């Protein structure tokens, strides 16, 4: 009889969410609490994902920091507010990854083409390592083609473009599904 102990390397799955345009309304460089408004049905989607054992991870470009429109501290204050707002609804966020760099409009140290800035996969790959994620079982919901490209570049199996009225002007350069309401994403969980 073999007394060998087998270890199962169980990987987690994630629901990756872009912030502005998916979690909250995108007014352009949202950093003030009074301009942070949740998108309809985001709480329902997060609750369903948590119930289905997904890690909830936010992946967000924050070039406003790099453009000196707001500070890292402003971003962290808004992130705390967002997390507190969602936790009141029994929705928690497991991780938040942000990229403050911009390749053309960044100021000083923020002027660079970062591997973390979407459409590059850096933030997603860091989350994959940090949370031991299986990208084949994970989902990324974003509202821009750069989100879809980042998901494809990180080998996330299911990428979903939410509520993008301008999709027809984009050349479809990667694979993704399209939804107009966040509850439509529940079927992919």
Catalytic residue annotation: 18, 20
SS3 15: strand
Nearest to 145 by CA among 116, 179, 126, 119: 119
Q: How far is CA 31 from CA 19, 154, 160, in A?
A: 11, 27, 25
Length of the chain: 189
Residue 92 backbone phi and psi in degrees, to 5: -120, 155
């Amino acid at each position: 009889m073999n007394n060998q102990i087998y270890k199962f390397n169980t990987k987690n799955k994630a629901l990756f969410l872009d912030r502005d345009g998916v979690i909250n309304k995108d007014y352009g460089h949202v950093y003030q609490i009074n301009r942070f408004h949740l998108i309809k049905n985001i709480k329902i989607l997060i609750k369903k994902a948590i119930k289905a054992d997904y890690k909830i991870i936010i992946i967000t470009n924050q070039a406003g920091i790099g453009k000196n429109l707001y500070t890292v501290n402003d971003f962290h204050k808004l992130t705390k507010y967002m997390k507190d707002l969602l936790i009141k609804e029994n929705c928690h966020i497991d991780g938040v990854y942000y990229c403050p760099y911009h390749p053309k409009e960044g100021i000083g140290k923020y002027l660079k083409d970062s591997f973390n800035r979407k459409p590059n996969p850096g933030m997603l790959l860091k989350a994959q390592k940090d949370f031991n994620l299986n990208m084949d079982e994970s989902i990324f919901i974003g509202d821009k083609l750069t989100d879809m490209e980042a998901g494809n570049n990180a080998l996330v199996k299911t990428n979903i473009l939410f509520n993008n009225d301008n999709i027809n002007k984009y050349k479809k350069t990667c694979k993704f599904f399209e939804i107009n309401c966040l509850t439509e994403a529940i079927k992919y969980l």
